[in-house]
A = this chain, B = another copy of it.
Amino acid sequence: MQREHVGVNNATLHYLDVIYRLTIDGEAANTTEIAARLHVTPSGASVMLKRLSERKLVQLTPYKGATLTATGKRLALRTIRRHRLLEMFLVSVMNFEWHEVDAHAHALETAINDEFEDRMDTMLGHPTRCPHGHLIPAKDGSLPKVADVPLMDQSIGFDGVIRCVDTDNGELLKYIGDQGLIPGTHVHLKEVAPYGGPITLESDHGTHTIGRNLAELVYVEHV
């Protein structure tokens, strides 16, 4: 296929990945935030961003922020696809638990190649979501349209299915998973305590009262 641009290494891909996530909302990603997510100082990130813009992977407006170029976005989506396929693989094939897989997938996502990616995709039956419910970009970078909505935007009486739990915090995931609140679970919204209080859900596993911070991570689809 298209030959790969030389110099697209681990560090580069991790930058692109982070910038992608920070620019989904359409806003440019700011240096400090990028630095924070990569556990690097803002000055270090600033230098790296300049290099990435010289390599035409990011569009940089000094003092304003960074967005991805088409090439950068393609690479970011490829990395994200690999990450999420790996997570799926780790859970489905290797029996890891959903709160363990992010770290492993992060380490592996820049070490695998196309062949490996495709093999996983085939073995898993071309999954469209990772174990936490995030969409897996297609090979061409496209993402399917879905009807996920934040649980916290719903009113009492809502009936739906959990589609995504949006965090990479292992402890939180473990807790949420232990409650059985995983993608595919049918839930009914019973109560929302006022003043930022907890919410109460019903599922096949019983009744759950969870803090709003947790509830805010959950996305559902109406049924």
Q: Which residues of A contact B (CB under 8 A)?
A: 93-96, 100, 104, 107-108, 110-113, 115-116, 119-120, 123
Contact = CB atoms under 8 A, between A and B. Distances in A.
A79 to B, nearest CB: 14
Contacts of A108: 108, 111-112
Contacts of A96: 119
**Copies of this chain:** 2
B119 A111 contact: no
19 contacts: A93-B93, A94-B119, A94-B120, A94-B123, A95-B119, A96-B119, A100-B115, A104-B112, A104-B113, A104-B115, A104-B116, A107-B111, A107-B112, A107-B113, A108-B108, A108-B111, A108-B112, A110-B111, A111-B111
A123 B115 CA distance: 22
Contacts of A113: 104, 107
A207 to B, nearest CB: 34
A196 to B, nearest CB: 37
